């Protein structure tokens, strides 16, 4: 990341400087700004808030909402909560992995178009099994239906 890119952090940090518990809100906004939390960003935050980098890193790697790697243009969340699990969300997950050639270790496509993540509940249990793509809810999913949506997004035909 270019050094200039880090200056976007200054206004974020200024909002929370001197307040107790400032690290989490700063990380939240930094994640939103950059889409992930590269080490340079964590280091800059540590310096500016005068806290050890190890503490920033510890928090950034503890919470699932933070990412250490850039995510794809489309972030797919497959729910694996109880309601979705009993409605076979695992076959939806497997279908997406197969379609996008992803694995547990590799969750972003090489072209950085799609990132696949699992979550424990998306708050739409009545629509199980549920997938969201960039926050848009797709309920009562089947492997065929989710593959069709991915095809459409890959062709850029619809907005997620």
Contact residues: ligand FES, CB under 6 A: 79, 81-84, 121-125, 128, 130
Q: Are strands 74-79 and 136-138 parallel, antiparallel or unpaired?
A: unpaired
Beta-bridged to residue 114, according to DSSP, are 74
Cβ proximity of 39 and 54 under 8 Å? no
CA distance 147 to 111: 18
Of residues 21 and 126, the one with the C-beta less far from ligand FES? 126
> In sequence order, what are the residues at sequence separation of 6 or more whose Cβ sits closer than 8 angstroms to the Cβ of residue 84?
78, 121, 122, 125, 128, 129, 130
| Cα–Cα distance measured from residue 62 to residue 117, given in angstroms and rounded to the nearest whole number | 16
Output the smallest distance, CB 99 to ligand FES, in A. 20
CB 125 to ligand FES: min, Å: 4
Q: Based on the number of CB atoms within 10 Å of its own CB, is 116 exposed (0-12), middle (13-18) or buried (19 or more)?
A: buried
Residue closer to ligand FES by CB (options 58, 123) is 123
Shortest reach from residue 84's CB to ligand FES, in Å? 3
Q: Which residue is nearest to ligand FES (CB)?
A: 81
**Considering beta carbons, is residue 12 or 75 the nearer one to ligand FES?**
75
Q: Identify which of residues 38 and 81 has a Cβ nearer to ligand FES in the complex.
A: 81
- Closest separation between CB of residue 152 and ligand FES, Å? 22
């Amino acid at each position: 990341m270019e050094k200039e890119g880090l200056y976007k952090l200054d206004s974020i940090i200024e909002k929370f400087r001197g307040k107790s518990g400032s690290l989490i809100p700063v990380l939240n906004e930094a994640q939103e700004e950059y889409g992930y939390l590269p080490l340079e960003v964590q280091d800059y935050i540590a310096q500016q808030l005068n806290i050890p980098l190890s503490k920033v890193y510890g928090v950034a790697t503890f919470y699932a909402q933070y990412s250490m790697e850039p995510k794809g243009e489309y972030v797919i969340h497959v729910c694996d909560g109880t309601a979705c699990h009993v409605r076979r969300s695992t076959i939806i997950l497997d279908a997406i992995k197969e379609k996008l050639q992803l694995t547990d270790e590799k969750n972003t496509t090489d072209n950085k178009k799609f990132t696949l993540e699992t979550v424990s509940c998306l708050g739409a249990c009545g629509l199980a099994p549920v997938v969201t793509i960039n926050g848009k809810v797709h309920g009562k999913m089947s492997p065929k239906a989710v593959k069709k949506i991915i095809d459409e997004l890959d062709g850029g035909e619809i907005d997620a």
